Amino acid sequence: MTSRVWIAAGLGLASAAMSFPAASKVDTAQAAKLKKELTPVGGERGANKDGSIPAWDGGLSKAPAGFKPGSRYTNPFPGDKPKFTISASNLDQYRDKLSAGQLTMFKNYGDTYKIPVYETRRTFANPQFIYDATFKNATSASLGGDGEALNGAVTGIPFPIPANGHEVIWNHKVRYRDLSVRRWNNQFAVTTSGAYNQVKIQEDVKFSYSADGIQPSDLNNIILYFLQITTEPARLAGTILLVHETMDQVKEARKAWQYNPGQRRLRRAPNVGYDNPGTASDGLRTNDQTDTYNGAMDRYTWKLVGKKEMYVPSSNAYELHSDKYKYGDIVQKGHINQDLTRYELRRVWVVDSTLKPGTTHIYKRRVFYVDEDSWQIVMVDIYDERDTLWRFQEAHTAIAYDKPYQLPVAETIYDLQNNRYLVQALNNEDPETVSETYDDTYFAPANVKKFAR
């Protein structure tokens, strides 16, 4: 093929579809597109044909007047109102720009479910050092180990001009999310009646891969450190999960440890991954659904279908993130409060993953929709072993404009067969996500034992 970039033609998908190739690097001529035709991390710089998706102008990289670091990220567009709202009554007008999961949400909750569509604001931005590293990675990054080992890339997006599904998902997994953070993750497993259990979790994360001025060899094969401590309810308080995520998962698989207060021991946890149940999720989330997708990809075949214009959760979900709302204002029967959400018309990469013969996972197939500007997975359609749509996943985000990076503010997983759902990553009643400084030794198992004590 003459180009690795597939552009959406009209309203449909681009026609190209590829699986994992032998080579991943691009030549200098194609990398030069990141300076002109493409954004610094690989999105299309220009507007779409009718201008409903505007050109990228650098994004939102300055905080509004009066903002203080560490305070709540408030809405920089307070006057924005929905251009229109998609409902069960007008669904057919917009069907071609919605996913199978969205359409099923209307089928299941037609009386209450809606999609408020706002003006598309391409606010995504990253620091200049991420752009510089991405440009360098474009001509040096490659995949080994059938897609499980990332080579020759560090700090920036590894594959800004992707050739296959593996590369798109790797871009999501190592996208810039600050250098290290402390965040509060409130998780709610909601029953069919609308009742829910709340679990409060503190998460400390160091994104080693994203550091400026380093070489891949400096990482010691670790792309991030993750420490999760459950603080509420009392019956779960003190539960700890520690993860060292590897860059070359062929050379060394993810390392994980768990601490159970009842056992009072920090134990190696080789089952933290794939379809094992996520922490206190009441069976509504698998481990690899945190951050919409994480971890090894070796159990699936990944096909890059192309790019499409769709109505998806936007990167401007400041209203949903506002501290003027209590958790009870957001968590409602059937689905979260859609009046607080914001959807926009976006160009997304579509990646279709299918379970490989001879491997196991509760999900036989997943279709990922990945925002072109940020490489954030914004939606996932999830199918069971009968090829029936089972679950639907969304990620609502906002730009942390003083950093800048794209901040998760709510992640939902809807069980479309049992009419239950899980929402996580909420912190409306808790402190804002803040930058922290962690040494690698902070995430050493011996140090984590101190937290347990």
| pLDDT tens, residue by residue, 272-324 | 999 999 999 999 999 999 999 999 999 999 999 999 999 999 999 999 999 99
pLDDT score for 131: 98
Whether 18 is covered by a domain: the verdict is: no
pLDDT score for 23: 54
Whether 22 is covered by a domain: the verdict is: no
**pTM for the full model?**
0.95
Whether 2 is covered by a domain: the verdict is: no
What domain range is 301 assigned to? 28-452
Whether 19 is covered by a domain: the verdict is: no
pLDDT score for 25: 86
pLDDT score for 1: 33
Q: Rounded CA gap, 186 and 239, in Å?
A: 15
Q: Which residues does residue 407 pair with via DSSP β-bridges, in sequence order?
A: 398
pLDDT score for 172: 98
Q: How many CB atoms lie within 10 A of CB 267?
A: 12
What's the token pair of residue 303? 């096909």
- Find out whether 101 and 392 touch, Cβ atoms under 8 Å: yes
Output the domain CATH number for residue 267: 2.50.20.10
Nearest one of 256, 250, 355 to 296, comparing CA atoms: 250
Whether 382 is covered by a domain: the verdict is: yes
Q: How many CB atoms lie within 10 A of CB 51?
A: 9
Count how many domains the chain has.
1
Write out residues in the chain with pLDDT < 70, as ranges.
Answer: 1-24, 453
My answer on whether omega of the bond before 54 falls inside 30° of 0, hence cis, is no
Residue 357, SS3 per DSSP: coil
- Find out whether 125 and 131 touch, Cβ atoms under 8 Å: no
Whether 239 is covered by a domain: the verdict is: yes
Q: Rounded CA gap, 318 and 409, in Å?
A: 8
Whether 165 is covered by a domain: the verdict is: yes
Distances, alpha carbon 112 to alpha carbons 98, 335, 341, 393, 421, in Å: 17, 9, 14, 18, 15
